[in-house]
């Protein structure tokens, strides 16, 4: 990370949508992932990242 310039962007939240959120949560627990994303029920797999930038908040989906 030391080689990457800090441009002022900060990850504020990361959400994973999945038809079977309990199964995904169990996988994260089994892998002992530190700070997993928020996992919610959705009709298909989808990621959403909310990022604060110098130009204001942005959402990547």
pLDDT tens sequence across 19-43: 999 999 999 999 999 899 999 999 9
pLDDT of 4 = 86
CA distance readout (Å), 11 to 31, 40, 53 = 22, 18, 9
Backbone angles phi, psi at 47, to 5 degrees: -110, 150
Q: For the chain, what is the mean pLDDT?
A: 94
- First-to-last alpha carbon distance for the chain, in angstroms, is 24
Q: Give Rg (Cα) of the chain.
A: 14
Contact 10, 51 (CB under 8 A): yes
| Confidence bin at 1 (pLDDT 50/70/90) | low
């Amino acid at each position: 990370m030391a080689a990457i310039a800090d441009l002022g962007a900060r990850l504020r939240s990361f959400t994973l949508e999945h038809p079977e959120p309990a199964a995904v949560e169990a996988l994260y627990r089994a892998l002992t992932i530190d700070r997993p994303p928020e996992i919610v029920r959705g009709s298909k797999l989808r990621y959403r990242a909310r990022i604060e930038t110098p130009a204001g908040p942005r959402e990547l989906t």
